[in-house]
Structure 1
């Protein structure tokens, strides 16, 4: 018997399982995100230890970001085909292997293997398509809010790890810092395995907020995961809105993960600021990112997501334009203001972008969002490499920050060009839903 998730709550009723699944997804995203920001804190110690240039280390980070993005749509299809638990547990183990194995590095090509390939594949197999899959399958009501919370977990994990990673790297070297991140990923594996399920029906309940009179169980995927991912791209590529979303989201990635996430600490170090202080500032970005992204999810449920995107990109562009004037050897009020505003705006773009993918592309929306997210990471990878080259060539990051500001204007214009409905081929046809097994004793178990 399926639990009615839309009925008024009764005294003593337990929390809907969807919220437990969302909570564990938040923890898993937090753990996997740890090493995505660690390079920013470890680049200076690695340079001092091995003498590797900023360009060489930026190349490894670019490979990581690129694989992180390109893996996402295939991971979405794999989750549809083989299950969320299997994919996420494997991804966390890859992150642990890459972070833990990096302590054995002795040559630059090994940096590409551990930082670039293993961690890129592991984090990409979760990424924000994991958040979108949980939000879309388990929630009818509060979908945008849940997407915002899970996005905050993914982004904030990058930043809250920075102070302890930077402190460990400064006190005991970069190797203990890498091992701490590996341990965090390993600890998350059994939690995911015990709590997360693929569909609400697997718990004998409806999605949170679903109307039992009209709800149709989600279609179960059939066919090869790679083929479904490629078919989703081919379908989306025929529509201008996909290219507008992808290009704008590439700029989002360039101006967050690619520029600030990787190069803010080295840039602040160039101005005489201590590495631990700069890492602490990025951690504050992470705190305000939680507020901004959850608020963005709430706003996305109420307002036109395109207008929200325009506002977010404009604010971000102004921040990047002013950043070269704000950097110094100490923390002052104007820098704190920049950190707060940039934190609120860090990944506030994700809930409205995910909602537009769902509105425009229907049942293909999660896989299409995976491809849009791939463009996010392509932009991040290009920006991470370009900023390193600019720093080595000009001796300053100033032109990288100004270039990011100009790109934000382009992203705002592209967001206005998105259409919220398709004018071409019909959305993906739904497969016949599998029968949901009835449970003896009526009420299903809840957590």
Structure 2
């Protein structure tokens, strides 16, 4: 294997990217399930939007909180082991879903257990892979792996919605479990933890360097990394903008667009198709964002991404009440920008805090993202129950995104980034 890697022009890191892409794709499909189940569970059990939103809110928050600790566990025990353990947790916990009868059971499974499982298969995994395997094309790889979340919605959300409509939500749950099990042999036989395991250098470097062994405390090292980063204004600006990113994406649109469409009589499958269309365009937009991040000032990219997203969210209440053409325009416009913010945010984090700490510190920035998403997931459900519509939460999110675009330009450009750009 070592001799083959040294003589072949093909870099095995691209196979690693493919395996992680598939894993993040399935994880994204799992994350989208509560939005499809919201209306069927409301009909079968009489649970309110705020009840189901509470489970989504907890899952989103734990999804983020797991990030920095997941990075530490990967450094200590290896990426493939943590991926396999996370999938095992998801299979077992989701397998109990068809038998639930009480809202607290749904919250435990889809709030706590699924939050812990998917949190280890999140953006931090993609950033860790990009930092370990790539110097050249790092931004592109982060963009591709981030876009896998959009592709998960593209491939699975309409299928989950269709299966739910035809055969019931329990059948859809079994389909998700089957997709998870397909990942096990891919990870078990194909994953490698570092290029040095194959006797090859990181792509873009000439020498083979083994990673330094992880010697810190699994729980205290991420916390110390947070304490160090918290002294920097750059960290708080990145965390603040990412809080508003989560508030305006998976917390709000990912959780509530389908039930918002239901308020206007738009069928479940069509509403899921709109999210799927967003996934298609975000696959293009986020991959392109990774390419742009390798070439342009990440702060300026974030300025445009947040500004355009804000305008699209302000337009959404009008689109919902005006027909399918306006919703189609929103889906395309918003979809191109959904998670395009991740590659420039990850690069700014890596430039500011260094390659070795990038995984854990970006993990804490993702915590801020998920805190924002959790706030929106629960808050929008409460406002919908209180006001009878989603107009206020959509408009508020739009204006907050405009504020985030201004915050992005306040981030200081690190000296290493400036040198890289000059080179």
TM-score by length of 2: 0.95
Describe the SS at the equivalent of 1:228: helix
Look up the match of 1:358: 350
Indicate whether 1:172 and 2:167 are aligned: yes
The structure with more helix, counted as a fraction of residues: 2
Residues 134, 118 of structure 1: CA spacing in aligned structure 2 closer, same or farther, 3 A cutoff? same
301-310 or 179-188: which moved more? 179-188
Residues 68, 159 of structure 1: CA spacing in aligned structure 2 closer, same or farther, 3 A cutoff? farther
Alpha-carbon distance in structure 1 between the residues aligned to 2:274 and 2:210: 45
> CA deviation digits over 1:63-119, x for unaligned, max 9?
000100001110011111110001111112222223222111110000111100111
Look up the match of 2:85: 90
Q: Is the 8 A contact 1:95 1:119 kept in 2?
A: yes
Alpha-carbon distance in structure 2 between the residues aligned to 1:3 and 1:239: 45
Look up the match of 1:147: 142
Q: Is the 8 A contact 1:273 1:329 kept in 2?
A: no
Alpha-carbon distance in structure 2 between the residues aligned to 1:59 and 1:158: 21
> Which residues of 2 match residues 260-299 of structure 1 at below 5 A?
260-299=253-292
Look up the match of 1:16: 11
Look up the match of 2:304: 311
Deviation at 1:318, TM superposition (A): 0.3
1:408 to 396, 401, 404: 401
Residues 173, 329 of structure 1: CA spacing in aligned structure 2 closer, same or farther, 3 A cutoff? farther
Q: Is the 8 A contact 1:272 1:329 kept in 2?
A: no
Deviation at 1:193, TM superposition (A): 1.5
Deviation at 1:220, TM superposition (A): 2.6
Alpha-carbon distance in structure 2 between the residues aligned to 1:263 and 1:27: 25
Deviation at 1:53, TM superposition (A): 0.4
> CA deviation digits over 1:166-221, x for unaligned, max 9?
11111111111111112111211221121111110001111122123xx6443232
Q: Provide structure 1 residue ranges, at least 5 long, that are not aligned to the other structure.
A: 424-447
Describe the SS at the equivalent of 1:258: coil
Q: Is the 8 A contact 1:152 1:290 kept in 2?
A: yes
Q: Provide structure 2 residue ranges, at least 5 long, that are not aligned to the other structure.
A: 417-423
Q: Is the 8 A contact 1:153 1:290 kept in 2?
A: yes
Describe the SS at the equivalent of 2:96: helix
Look up the match of 2:29: 34
Indicate whether 1:335 and 2:330 are aligned: no
Look up the match of 1:349: 341
105-114 or 223-232: which moved more? 223-232
> Which residues of 2 match residues 12-411 of structure 1 at below 5 A?
13=8, 15-212=10-207, 216-328=209-321, 330-332=323-325, 334-362=326-354, 363-411=356-404
Look up the match of 1:438: none
Deviation at 1:329, TM superposition (A): 7.9
Deviation at 1:4, TM superposition (A): 11
Look up the match of 2:421: none
Alpha-carbon distance in structure 1 between the residues aligned to 2:317 and 2:52: 23
Alpha-carbon distance in structure 2 between the residues aligned to 1:4 and 1:168: 45
- Count matched residues: 415
Describe the SS at the equivalent of 2:135: coil
Q: Is the 8 A contact 1:67 1:117 kept in 2?
A: yes
Deviation at 1:337, TM superposition (A): 1.7
Look up the match of 2:419: none
Look up the match of 1:421: 414
Q: Any runs of at least 4 consecutive aligned residues in structure 1 with deviations exceeding 4 A, and if so which?
A: 1-5
TM-score by length of 1: 0.90
Alpha-carbon distance in structure 1 between the residues aligned to 2:33 and 2:155: 10
